[in-house]
Amino acid sequence: MSPFRPLPVVLCLALAACAGGAHPEDAFVAPGKYVLYDCQQLAEAEAKFVQRDVELTRLIARARAGEGGNLVAATVYEPDYYSNLGELKDVRREEADKKCAAKAAAGKPAR
């Protein structure tokens, strides 16, 4: 029996998402994951995903600059990038549903 290799599964999911007309980041997200988060928790999660997005974008660009970099970027970094992007979209959708930006603005003292 061969060991389970997650990379082919991830690539198949990504290809299926692209072929189906869906956004690849949507294939990696469990909808409603952040329903129980309050606005502060959502803001913390968003900051974490934004920071990871910057890091992954930099890594993908650096990988593509090298020999065979497109393959490395596609197999190593892009699944994580799309997963992170999907999580970020889900957090932002939940923030909008809970009107977190309006609550934050209302809670700030006037200067």
Each residue's pLDDT tens digit in the chain (111 positions)? 455 555 565 555 555 545 444 567 666 677 789 999 999 999 999 999 999 999 999 999 999 998 888 998 999 999 999 999 999 999 999 999 999 987 777 766 555
Domains of the chain: which residue ranges?
A: 6-99
What is this structure's pTM? 0.70
**What one-letter code names the amino acid at 6?**
P
DSSP 76: I
Q: List CB contacts of 34: < 8 A, sequence separation 6 or more.
A: 41, 42, 45, 90, 91, 94
27 and 89 Cβ atoms separated by less than 8 Å: no
**pLDDT recorded at residue 19:** 45
The two three-digit tokens of residue 11, written as one number: 């690539």
